[in-house]
Structure 1
Amino acid sequence: MAVRAAVAEDAAAVQAIYAHHVAHSTATFDTEAPDEAFWREKIDAVVARGWPFLVVERDGEVAGYAYATQFRDRAAYALTCENSIYIADPQRGAGLGSILLAALVDAAGKAGFEQMIAVIGGGEPASVALHGKLGFVEAGRMRQVGMKFGRRLDTVYMQLALHR
């Protein structure tokens, strides 16, 4: 398995991974998955800003992706990023998330970010556990702010200082 910078040609794999999570999980509150063109543009835009967009490969296939973007558009948030991480469903539980998130934390610090925020849709227990394993602490919870699959869902905020 290997972690590397994403390239535009990874858009199809990223789209497929995300589409599965849109259709089957509450990790994202999206109800319709963006197409491959959206992901190609997203990869290009993130990389153009000097921010990390990473993929993890297993057996030569993209098995997950993660990226960090500025938390909010206002200049005051320039040193704070929000992460996004998704693992292909068949690869979940194999330790790829820990490897990928650790690489993202490192890359985000090198990109100049000082704080990383995880916004965890549905308070997904696996995502909360993954982030906790890497030192993130819960910074807040918005209760019942989402609705998906007929369920009211919380959003959990977790935070990590990147320059300790």
Structure 2
Amino acid sequence: MTRTRAATPDDALAITRIYNQGIQDRVATFETRERSAAEVQEKLSEPYPAVVVLDTSREVVAFAWSRPYSTRPAYATIGDHGVYVAREARGQGYGEAALRALLQAARQAGLHKLTSRIFTDNTASRRLHLRCGFREVGTHRRHAQLDGDWRDVVIVEVLLDEP
């Protein structure tokens, strides 16, 4: 049975492994430098929601986290987010469990919107977000370079205070 819970700094090693896989695979982030457990632990100590998904062995197989969309006060209730699943656990519903748990945690934290940018060719993530109530609101063309190639991203958002 899949279980979700709030992420804690004790999850830093597992989250670091999964996040670094996402960096290595070049399908989910513009980040190119792998992160240390200390860096992830610091991020997990921030006040924005983060969740983990545990498999039947109680191992962390996925996570979702959020951060402020902007430092401007007008955007204080908007979170930017990411969802990552361990390579060996992809395609088994763990990403959806992570994202749905993050949506609940974000509502409880008083956020009114979550947003993100997804590589246009990351169809699995795009489908996941649509299933979880997000809508695609536009495309940033040539948004940034990854390994010397310009990449387009789709902007997604969900309003958390809508039924």
TM category, shorter: over 0.9
- Shift of residue 151 of structure 1? 3.3
Listed as ranges, the gaps of 5+ residues in structure 2 are none
Q: Given the alignment, which residue of 138, 141, 163 partners 2:139?
A: 141
Q: Which residue of 1 aligns with 2:75?
A: 77
The answer to whether structure 1 residue 34 and structure 2 residue 31 are counterparts is no
Structure 1: any 5+ residue segments left out of the alignment? none
Measured in 1, the distance between the counterparts of 2:105 and 2:45 equals: 17
CA distance in 2, matches of 1:79, 1:9: 27
C-alpha distance in 2, partners of 1:140/1:63?
Answer: 30
For 2:66 and 2:21, the matched residues in 1 are separated by 21
Distance 1:2 1:130 in 2: 18
TM-score, structure 2 normalization: 0.92
Which runs of structure 1 show a deviation greater than 3 angstroms over 4 or more consecutive aligned residues? none
Note closer, same or farther for the CA distance 1:123–1:140 as it changes in structure 2 (3 Å cut): farther
Residue 56, structure 1, aligned to residue 53, structure 2: yes
State the shift of 1:116 in Å.
Answer: 1.0
Q: How many residues align?
A: 160
Please name the residue that 1:12 is paired with.
Answer: 13
CA RMSD in angstroms, aligned pairs only: 1.3
The one-letter amino acid of 2:53's match is V
2:129 equivalent in structure 1: 131
Aligned mates of 1:125, 1:151 — CA distance in 2? 19
* 1:21 correspondence with 2:19: no
Query: Alpha-carbon deviation of 1:26?
Result: 2.5
Give me the whole-angstrom Cα distance separating, in 1, the residues matched to 2:157 and 2:131.
12
8 A Cα contact 1:65 1:86, kept in partner: yes
How far apart, in 2, do the equivalents of 1:122 and 1:136 lie?
A: 15
**1:21 is paired with a residue of what secondary structure?**
helix
Aligned to 2:152: 154
Identity of aligned residues (%): 32
Q: Displacement of 1:25 after TM fit?
A: 2.2
